[in-house]
Structure 1
């Protein structure tokens, strides 16, 4: 298999880039402060074949838990920083890699330039020999970049953000980093990573389809993006981001290993992902989920909306406030879950908050209304993909 000749990055006991084997990773879905459960799941993922295991840290208490988690697992640990970049000082001594999102650097201390925040993160990471991942995500793009381009251009803001952060890290002399460019649309994931690799072939890439959803659909979406990229030499680490209950979290790793094995064996024909049908986007279960009912709700949404399978409608189901508000904006109907209520949106417009018992009937009401507005009855008549969307396949 051809491989892009990227620089080498070390994360604990694994090395990727520079022609080294592709590393499969996953993320704990347990609450970080539940040390026993998180350490046990990290070990479960490691034993399933995860070279890197990511853990969310959103508070000082989460950071305090890392010390003991580190003592209880042999996994190479990565921490996912979101809004408080300064937590890097508390977590870096106990992990091998830190992921930050350029679009989230603005939430905490907005008066501090983002360049100073990245410099701070890089200095701490270098002190403790941690690698970095610049994680650019479709639903939380740097607002300064997003506003420069027309709304229909989702690719340019993400690429410009990634290039800008790479240039800064290079100027700082920090080279132990990789980049990820993720979207819930496999076609955009392919385009984003191909265009990035054409300009910066030296930077290792972490591949994935964000909010891929539930299996088997989530695996098919991920294969549609990752197989063509890996087969052309692009990608050094991967994750299959699936909505799963905690006890099945290791299935992400198994699916990722299967994708790598298939590409290595030359099995690079994938089932095309065709837009124009009902598309349920749901984020991978992680420790930020504010109510365990989120996973069950995602399953119920899939069952409830089965009658609309051939309508070109996207429904997003998000598990927390970090991803929920922004990453449901592009969906026709979006749900993001809090501890007691589910927030319902139609595009970027909020329709209110509903209990977990109330949300499904209201969702169906909005779905029927949307179908009727687009010229189809709520059930019975099948709308062809050509009536509402581009039906061209990815491959």
Structure 2
């Protein structure tokens, strides 16, 4: 496989970039405070071939559990998302090999400080503890200033790509100025076309920076694997991509399938076997759902996502996007661009139509209300087609 000449970045026992084998990643779906289950799943993912295993840490209890998980699974290279609290890096650093921060989340936390000050805190701590860093830019949580600055800069279908790329480039420049080069970058969206475009644009400007590839909220099998394959085939075949994450909504016991799908895509591209289905992007019902990870606030989210897929099958011919999100991190922002969105709280589900909030409903009744809104949306589309 053709590979870009990126610099090598070590994360524990794996090296990302530098012509090394592409590293497959996954993320534990268990609650971090459930030490027994999380350690078992981290071990399972590692043995399935995940070179890096990510764990969600959001509290002091999670940090304490992480230390025990690290002790139980010393063979796995662990990664932690800093999410909204970048200062957690000081507590998790002794137990992991890599951290990821989101520039959009960094923007919102401790607004009295400059972005550079916050990035410097992360870089200095990472250097002191021998950690790699991922700058993870996501479609639904771009720095608002960057989003506003480049509003309208992209053609239809690629909205937001320029803001994503510029955000990543800005943070690369800050890290370079801080003389910290042990970082990789990711630019993710739930639309494979935006993933392809953003990573190609970035690679032209910063070809030496290793790239972490992923399609966010790819959804359930088989659609989630198809969306991911479309993006990965186009990028890996151009030499773009040094580590990958397949994000699928799966029963918690089947998280190993993310690793399996990722390894299969790499093997197929290496062998010249291309299985993309481009017509998948030409319209019709599109269900996006975030991966079943340890940030999920109610495990009923996974069951709900499968029920949404089953219930909405009758609308497959309509160009409608439905988003099902499992937590407050992805939920509010990343349902905005969907026609209908559900983001799941611990005891209820928030239903949205675009950015409009329609209310909060119990898990056992939200499907009925979703169907009402879907039927209404279908009628609107029929009426619009009749007028055209």
TM-score interval, smaller chain: over 0.9
Q: 2:261 aligned with 1:255, yes or no?
A: yes
- Normalised by the length of structure 2, the TM-score is 0.96
C-alpha distance in 1, partners of 2:320/2:327? 22
SS at the partner of 1:242?
A: coil
Q: Displacement, 1:275?
A: 3.1
CA RMSD of aligned residues (A): 1.5
**1:89 aligned partner:** 90
Question: What's 2:142 paired with?
Answer: 141
Q: Once structures 1 and 2 are overlaid, which stretch shifts more, 261-270 or 172-181?
A: 261-270
Counterpart in the other structure of 1:55: 55
Normalising by structure 1, we get a TM-score of 0.94
Whether 1:109 and 2:110 are equivalent positions in the alignment is yes
**Distance in 2 of aligned mates of 1:113 and 1:236:** 30
Aligned positions of 1:159-198 closer than 5 A? 159-198=165-204
Matched-pair contact (CA < 8 Å) for 1:9–1:176: yes
Write out aligned runs for 1:1-395 (5 A): 1-73=1-73, 74-150=75-151, 153-272=159-278, 273-375=280-382
Gaps of 5+ in 1: 378-382, 389-395
Unaligned runs of 5+ in 2: none
Q: CA deviation at 1:354?
A: 0.3
Give the distance between the partners of 1:269 and 1:290, measured in 2 at CA: 35
How far apart are 1:268 and its partner, in Å?
2.7
Q: What SS does structure 2 have at the residue aligned with 1:375?
A: helix
Report deviation, 1:376: 6.0
- Answer with 287-296 or 145-154: which moved more: 145-154
Q: In terms of mean alpha carbon deviation, does 31-40 or 106-115 score higher?
A: 106-115
* Structure 1: 4+ residue segments shifted above 3 A: none
Cα deviation code 1:276-307 (max 9, x no counterpart)? 11000000011111110000000000001000
CA distance in 2, matches of 1:191, 1:108: 29
For residues 141 and 171 of structure 2, what CA distance do their matches in structure 1 show?
A: 15
Do the aligned residues in 2 keep the contact of 1:23 with 1:50 (CA within 8 Å)? yes
Shift of 1:321: 0.8
For 1:246 and 1:19, how far apart are their aligned partners in 2? 33
